[in-house]
Amino acid sequence: MKAYFSHIYQAVSTILIGMSITVRSIFRKSVTIQYPEQRLQLPERERNRLFVNMEDCIGCDQCAKACPVSCINIETVKVVPGDVVGKTGVTSQGKKKALHVTNFTIDFAKCCFCQLCVFPCPTECIYMTDVFEYSTYSRAELLYQFSDLTPEEAEKKKKMLADFNAEQEKKKALAAQEAAKKAAETKPADGETKKESDNTKES
């Protein structure tokens, strides 16, 4: 009989303890937020998705060299005389840009968000943002392209450089031919001068 009433007491007391916790929680201030309309403020040193400001990028490849997982891929083309990189040809800090960045991709499927690529950048064009929601249904969509040149424009820049290099090689070949021609023309004259000098000595 004692055990019977003990079990009844335990059951009722357990229910009352649970209900008391529930009642207290009803009048407690809510700790949840209406996400995504409301968002918590991120810490000052959060590390989320990278962004590259191509107006300041000089194509130095320092960020790609610093990346421990090789998720950054950069391709550049030299600027030919008379061409301008971007709108002004200089960064916001006044540094001249001598390379067209035809490809600047970051594979966020590989990125470990270590932020090591940010510090070596001389123009501070690559930095961490507060964006952390960019899940996709395909891994290919995690490959972000930051270059402001279209594939057609990139091919055009490559062709301009190839044509310029070909023209420079042609000029070098013509200059070498001219130099060889002048050397061939002056060689007999030197021989005649030597002959005249020998005749002078004999007389």
- Between 36 and 188, whose confidence is greater? 36
Structural domain includes residue 98:
yes
Q: How many domains does the chain have?
A: 1
- pTM here? 0.69
pLDDT per residue as tens digits for the range 175-187: 888 888 888 887 6
- Residue 178 has a pLDDT of 87
Judge contact between 67 and 11, C-beta under 8 A.
no
Q: Which amino acid is at 107?
A: D
Please indicate, yes or no, if residue 78 is contained in any of the structural domains. yes
Residue 69 lies inside a defined structural domain of this protein = yes
CATH of the domain at 101: 3.30.70.3270
- How far apart are the C-alpha atoms of 152 and 67, rounded to whole Å? 29
Query: How is residue 196 annotated by DSSP?
Result: H
pLDDT of residue 57: 94
- Residue 193: its pLDDT value, please? 52
Residue 163 placed within a domain: no
Residue 135 lies in a domain: yes
- Per the domain annotation, does 45 fall within a domain? no
Please choose, from the candidates 159, 164, 174, the residue with its C-alpha nearest in 3D space to the C-alpha of residue 82: 164
Question: pLDDT per residue over 39-65, tens digit each?
Answer: 888 888 889 999 999 999 999 999 999
Q: Could you tell me if residue 141 is inside a domain?
A: yes
Q: What's the rounded Cα separation, in Å, for the pair 112 and 50?
A: 11
Q: Would you place residue 95 in the very low, low, confident or very high pLDDT band (cuts 50, 70, 90)?
A: confident
90 falls within a domain: yes
Please report the pLDDT score of residue 200 as a whole number. Answer: 52
pLDDT tens digit sequence for 116-169: 999 999 999 999 998 888 889 999 999 999 999 999 999 999 999 999 999 999
Torsion angles phi and psi, residue 182, rounded to 5: -65, -40
Q: What domain range is 138 assigned to?
A: 50-153
What distances in angstroms separate CA 95 from CA 58, 76, 99, 118, one per listed residue? 9, 17, 12, 18
Higher-confidence position of 195 and 93: 93
pLDDT tens string 160-180 = 999 999 999 999 999 888 888
SS3 of residue 42 by DSSP: coil
The pLDDT score that the predictor gives to residue 31 is: 78
